[in-house]
Structure 1
Amino acid sequence: MAPSEADQKIDYIEMNVKDIEGAKQFYGEAFAWTFTDYGPDYCEFRDGRLSGGFARTHTVTPKGGPLVILFAADLEETLSRVEKAGGSISRPIFSFPGGRRFHFVDPEGYELGVWSDR
């Protein structure tokens, strides 16, 4: 049996949130993600390439885990959308070998990054 292309690859990201509707509003507005609700305590998101979920919890501990990094063709426009949607910039745009990126904190307290090769 040949291994599948998905074997040993990141397949799904799940984020614990207190406010599923708020998470949907933020990520829908900032990144145009789409959503499928599975009852009052779980919602799947799709970004067009990867899927994940928002799981309702009473305690959110967003610090200390892996840094999720999204790609953007237009970094400045994406930064503006993040701020407009209610995110706060935790690290302004900076250069690194291979491109530029910024970090932001979403309304639940998760820090993510956005990078561009331009």
Structure 2
Amino acid sequence: MVAASVTGMYEIDFAEFPSTSAAASGRFFERAFGWAATPYGPDYTDVRAAGLTFGFQSDPAEQPRAPLLTIRTDDLPSAREAVEAAGGVVTKEPFAFPGGQRFHFREPGGSELAVWCPDA
């Protein structure tokens, strides 16, 4: 099988985790490792560490079922086309969030991931 030609930049730079308390998760990583935590309301906190950001979601309606790796791109529509052409299934249509837009997909083995594009 020959791999399809893929253009654009794709890199994993974010991972989102379910949490019973986003604030407590943020405080833990600040205390344990000295990483900066930024709360985005009562149910979401980002923790930045060495080029990777971890998000902690405590809103049960928005939580991923498992850790969600997020792939950064500069072209969201092209990334969606590439995902679907390779056999992935979009599970959450593109939506805006602070800093950009993203969509979720399931790869053929069953894992859910996301692709995001920062606001220009």
Q: TM-score, with normalisation over the residues of structure 1?
A: 0.48
Q: TM-score, with normalisation over the residues of structure 2?
A: 0.47
